[in-house]
Amino acid sequence: LNQSIFIYGGNMLVEIFNLYIQGLLMSALAVILVSAGWILYRAIRKKDKTSKERLTILYEALLIDLVTIPILSFAFMAIILMFKA
């Protein structure tokens, strides 16, 4: 009885981890596409005149991506879970 509970718990953890990884990949893809679009928009509109300004925008986008991806992964995980239910 104890072994079956442990195995079931292990499978449940694997399933939750699998959902989190899927959500992480989906959020990374979505955030990278949005930031690439934002940087492309700024480049087309010539918002940044110097290379230092362009580099600053790139660093800001990378920092925003690093903060946003893990947070959005839980939202995508919830959406995946709702579709699987």
Question: Please, is 55 exposed, middle or buried when counting C-beta atoms within 10 Å of its C-beta (0-12, 13-18, 19+)?
Answer: exposed
- DSSP characters over the chain: -HHHHHHHHHHHHHHHHHHHHHHHHHHHHHHHHHHHHHHHHHHHHT---SHHHHHHHHHHHHHHHHHHHHHHHHHHHHHHHHHH-
Q: What is the predicted pLDDT for the residue at 84?
A: 87
Q: Name the phi and psi angles at 51, rounded to 5.
A: -70, -30
Q: What is the predicted pLDDT for the residue at 15?
A: 87
11-15, 39-43, 69-73 — which is least confidently predicted?
A: 11-15
Mean pLDDT of 27-34: 97
pLDDT at 1 over 60: no
